[in-house]
Each structure stands twice: as structure tokens, then as C-alpha cells.
Amino acid sequence: MGDPISLLSERFVKFPGIGPRQAQRFVQFLLRTTPSARRELANAILALSGTHRCGQCMRYHTGEEATCAICLHPSRDAALLAVVASDTDLDALEKSSAYKGYYFVVGGTISLATERASVLREKELLKYIAERIDAGLIEVILAFPANPEGDYTGSQLKAIIGEKYPGIRISSLGRGLSTGSELEYADPDTLKSAFSGRR
């Protein structure tokens, strides 16, 4: 029912950032590959069902252990815990080598339109902070995007964490000129942050 070419094209259209034209191009690309290449792609997609969230940081991983390789790594800095919105943000921080502490993926930001986040894992975060305090945690870093929803999510989490663990330092990522910025094109908020965060 329905032909495979259109059916597959309709599925690719649901992929983030993919329109009908590129979806069709994906199908044509797959038509030109070999049946065995298509089988391997299908298997790779099915294998995702073998992945699971790390019991600590909540990111997806595929290790045999319940806990992921980052959380198990012996040389992470136990004094720091970065709370991030998504696996993608965690990956970005990890790749930058800017940070060596632990992570927690809270699962999104709060939409300002609805003031609701589909899956914000607040309870799990508070529980995990307790665990990390036992392991030497000193500071929680709210590492959210520098936009209104990131700010709002950060301020909400700051309130919740501060109330429950008043002894813990809570910080946010620094704002200011990003690499390559010209003053001429910087927005007033960024310039204000750049002045207040000067050093």
C-alpha cells in the first residue's frame, strides 16, 4: 500500500531540517547504493534500540554498563557538574575540551510560550546532585544556550537547586564577545556583558 519510494521520502521529510526535495534526493541516493548498503543502514537504525540512557548523566550511550564512559572516567573533576539541555550540547562541550567535570542532561529548555518543558528531568537532577555532593561536588554550572528560554530554564533550575542545596555554588556560562565578534555588530546585551565581565 503506497509505493516504497514515496513512503521512504515521506519518512525522510520528518527528519529535522529536511524538505521534500532533499528527502527525494536521499531516496535516489539510496536507490543508487547496493542492497547490502541499504541493509547495513537499516540495521544501524534498528541497533539504536540497543542504546540506553546513562543512569547518571542521562545521555544516550551504548556501553554494556548502565553508566556511560564519561561518567565512569576516573579523571573527571568531581567538584563540577554541568547541567545541559541536550545530548548535542553535552557533545559540543565535550568536544571543546573546555570542561572536565560531570554532566547532567536535563532534557530540554522551558518554552516561554507555554512555560512548559516536555521532559525536564528536575527530580532526577536533584537526586543526582545529592549523589555528586557525596562525591565532592562544589559547583553546579547551568550550561544553557544564551537565549531567553535558556535563561529562563537556568533561573528556574537555580531557584530549585538553591532551595534544596543552599551550600552549593550555582553558576552560569559567561557572556560576552564570542570569538570573531566585531564590536560594531554586537548587540547591546552582549556589549553590556562584555563590559561587566571584563578582566
CB of 103 or CB of 128, closer to a copy of itself: 103
Cell numbers found for residue 26: 536521499
The least distance separating a copy of itself from the CB of residue 44, rounded to whole angstroms, comes to 4
Distance (Å, whole) CA 121 – CA 39 = 36
CB of 12 or CB of 134, closer to a copy of itself: 12
Do the bridges between strand 139-143 and strand 169-172 make them parallel or antiparallel, or are there none, so unpaired? parallel
The least distance separating a copy of itself from the CB of residue 16, rounded to whole angstroms, comes to 5
Using a 10 angstrom Cβ sphere, with 0-12 exposed, 13-18 middle and 19 or more buried, the burial of residue 26 is: middle
CB of 156 or CB of 193, closer to a copy of itself: 193
The least distance separating a copy of itself from the CB of residue 170, rounded to whole angstroms, comes to 10
The least distance separating a copy of itself from the CB of residue 40, rounded to whole angstroms, comes to 7
45: alpha, beta or left? (left if phi > 0; alpha if psi -120 to 50): alpha
CB of 48 or CB of 134, closer to a copy of itself: 48
